[in-house]
Structure 1
Amino acid sequence: MNLRKSKSIIGWVFILIATIFITLFYFYPMIQAFILSFKSGMGANLQFIGLDNYIRLFNDPVALIAIRNTFIYLIFQVPIMILLAMFFSVLLNNPKLKFKGFFRTAIFLPSVISLVAYSVIFKYLFSTDGLVNQFLLNLSFISEPIEWLMDPFWAKVLIIIAITWRWTGYNMIFYLAGLQNVDNSVYEAAKIDGANPIQQFFYITVPMLKPIILFTGITSTIGTLQLFDEPMNITKGGPGNETLTISQYIYNLSFEYTPDFGYAAAVSFIIVVLTVIFAVIQFRLGGERK
């Protein structure tokens, strides 16, 4: 009995230590940031202003542009990335494929490269006289160089390409791990019943990967709502704020413009609200109906 009590006490000590650290480094800053969102001023001279920061947010044209841009990235990039990750995972899970290890490493490698380093490389590759334009011109796909960094439409396309290149391999690893747990006998039985590869994918692979699709969908949504490095390092949010994201706008409010930490905190909670909303929607869509 004494041994059980001592083990129980040790267990509660470990739980208590973890709870203290989580509260100290996660919940306390969140609470302080929420309180800060109701204040305004510079440095330590902050005054309570109630809901003025949130009212200002919905009348701020730059904030609305940042929210719009973030939604555009979310709507287009996340589905494309998830579909590509599933496509590559199915291809690389083929037991007959040679050099699987090489291909898996090559596709996963972008996700371990420095965000700043690859953003700078993309900026030079997609410059007006960069390699991408030269390649497209040589193949006669275009008649004149595309202004990837200066045109609002192509600048958004560039950001979507960059994010997709960076994170597709990361999500692919989760799908590969899930496919490893699918018994080959399931596919063999489907073949005997006359199912073609496309039918096998939609009626076997996708349902089997449903929990992983939900997980990668939520994590990718959160990552896109917090998007900062690519717009900051590739386009600086330009041209004319057309690639500005919410996180980048928060940075500008805090460090680039006249510091307004209270308003920046209020804008940051838009990300929290949007994350919760999209997570709930995805759980509803991915949940089992009873």
Structure 2
Amino acid sequence: MSNHALRTATRARSRPAPKRRPRLGERQAPYVFLVPMALLFLAFKLYPFGYSAWLSFTTGSEETYVGLDNYTRLFGDELFYQALRNTAFFVVIQVPVMLLLALVLAVALNSALLRLRRTLRLVFFLPIVMGLVAYGILFGALFANDFGTVNALLADLGLPRVNWLGDPLTARFSVILAMLWHYTGYFSVIFLAQLQSIPDELYDAAATDGAGAWQKFRHVTLPGLRPAVVLTAVMATAGTLQLFDEPYVLTNGGPDGATTTIGLYMYLNGFTYFDFGYASAIGWVLTAIIGVIALVQVKVLGRER
């Protein structure tokens, strides 16, 4: 074989085979598999959102269009403002306390000095598995005035009974205690996952520079936890703004409306008074509030220091 023929054969062997263009059916196959999920999303997400938006501009069982009447009524509704103040109370008190406890718990569960760390992580995470109604009933039994476990312990110690769910202030704190028990372990797991992603080299470098335990926590741990702080703050705030199950099961919004949240007030208007248009308007105002607060939190907490 001549040199020219050899070079031609070598180039032919080294030349990549032409790519086969996928047939029409092969190009459509991935989209076919997405169809069931798209239909479910349309039926159970987009349609309810759109329908509730339409309902917020209507009134009555015949869905008569009334324009912005529901929204103007809402901004003049003193009960709505009371529910807004109650919800703000839970957000301002419960969210910072819960996130602080979750952070302390995560740091403790991440310590190499702690024995049975895996078992303790499971124990603190377990409350989130319990259903909302079930643990609401549990705390209702704990804080019951006549036969509650907490009052029984107080009586055994010679202390007076406390009307936990019948007094406005103690009822609020009973709801907060229930939420702390249920959600703190869940958020501590998020902090723990972020803690374990911080490189050990940063702590070694800080120790080389003479940093103590507090300096390491302040200058290494806290900056490394920023993504988890932003995530948990947004999740906890949004969840508390939608608070419904705990006050509904524990106090039914009482006493005297002291634990009626926006979520509970929306439920009462929709499923007790059957004013679905007004309830939808409340829901969309709540959605706007959550969106604005979440945006502010992301901007403020996610800012580089």
Q: Do both proteins adopt the same fold according to a TM-score greater than 0.5, normalized to the shorter chain?
A: yes
Q: How far apart in 2 are the matches of 1:95 and 1:237?
A: 44
Contact 2:226–2:302 (Cα < 8 Å) also in 1: no
| Aligned-partner residue type, residue 68 of structure 2 | L
Partners of 1:240 and 1:229 lie apart in 2 by 18
Q: What is the alpha-carbon distance in structure 2 between the residues aligned to residue 7 and residue 197 of structure 1?
A: 59
- Determine whether 1:256 maps to 2:256: no
Deviations 1:240-285 (A, max 9, x none): 111011111111112223x111111111112201110111101111
- CA displacement at 1:198 relative to structure 2: 2.1
Asked if 1:131 is matched to 2:149, the reply is: yes
Of the structure 1 ranges 17-26 and 176-185, higher mean CA displacement relative to structure 2 is found in 17-26
Say which of 115, 140, 159 aligns to 2:175: 159
Q: Within 1, Cα distance between the matches of 2:125 and 2:214? A: 25
Q: Does 1:80 align with 2:93?
A: no
Larger radius of gyration: 2
Deviation at 1:289, TM superposition (A): 5.0
TM-score by length of 2: 0.87
**CA distance in 2: counterparts of 1:23 and 1:36, whole angstroms:** 18
The equivalences for 1:224-263 within 5 A come to: 224-257=240-273, 259-263=274-278
Structure 1 segments, 4+ long, off by >6 Å, are none
1:157 partner amino acid? F
Residue of structure 2 equivalent to 1:203: 219
1:32 matched to 2:32: no
Deviation per residue, 1:76-104 (Å, 9 max, x gap): 11111111111111100012211111211
Distance 1:197 1:6, change over 3 A: farther
Shift of 1:131: 2.3
Matched, 1:274 2:289: yes
The offset of 1:19, in angstroms, is: 4.1
Q: Which amino acid aligns with 1:132?
A: V
Matched position secondary structure for 1:148: coil
Tell me the residue number matched to 2:136: 119
Which of 41, 51, 63 pairs up with 2:60? 41
Structure 2: stretches of 5+ with no match in the other structure: 1-19
**Unpaired stretches in structure 1, ≥5 consecutive residues:** none
The 3 A distance-change label for structure 1 pair 54 and 179 is: same
Aligned-partner Cα distance in 2 for 1:186–1:289: 18
The two structures, once aligned, show a CA RMSD in angstroms of 2.0
Q: What SS does the corresponding residue of 2:162 show, helix, strand or coil?
A: coil
Deviation at 1:23, TM superposition (A): 3.2
CA deviations on 1:27-55 (whole Å, 9 max, x unpaired) are: 2211111111011113xx22111111111
The equivalent residue for 2:41 is 22
Once residues 229 and 303 of structure 2 are traced to their aligned partners in structure 1, the CA distance between those partners, rounded to angstroms, is 14
Give the conservation status (yes or no) of the 8 Å contact 2:206–2:216.
yes
Q: Distance in 1 between matches of 2:299 and 2:275?
A: 37
Separation in 2, partners of 1:118, 1:20: 34
Q: Does 1:69 align with 2:82?
A: no
Alignment-mate amino acid for residue 153 of structure 2? F
Question: How far off its partner does 1:9 sit?
Answer: 3.2
C-alpha distance 10-245 of structure 1, shift in aligned 2 (>3 A): same
Q: What percentage of residue pairs aligned between the two structures are identical?
A: 39
> Offset at 1:136?
4.4
| 1:285 aligned onto 2:300 | yes
- Which structure's relative contact order is higher, taking Cα pairs within 8 Å and 6+ residues apart? 1
TM-score for the superposition, normalised by structure 1: 0.91
Deviations 1:143-192 (A, max 9, x none): 42222101111111111111111001111111111111112232232223
Between Structure 1 and Structure 2, how many residues are aligned?
Answer: 285
Match of 1:92 in 2: 109
Aligned counterparts of 1:159 and 1:110: Cα–Cα separation in 2: 15
Whole-Å Cα distance in 2 between the matches of residues 230 and 147 of structure 1?
Answer: 17
Measure how far apart 1:5 and its partner are.
6.8
d(CA) in 2 for partners of 1:239 and 1:74? 19
User: 1 CA distance for matches of 2:81 and 2:91?
Assistant: 15
SS of match in other structure, 1:64: helix
CA distance in 2, matches of 1:204, 1:123: 42
Letter in 2 for 1:210: R
User: Structure 2 counterpart of 1:67, which letter?
Assistant: L
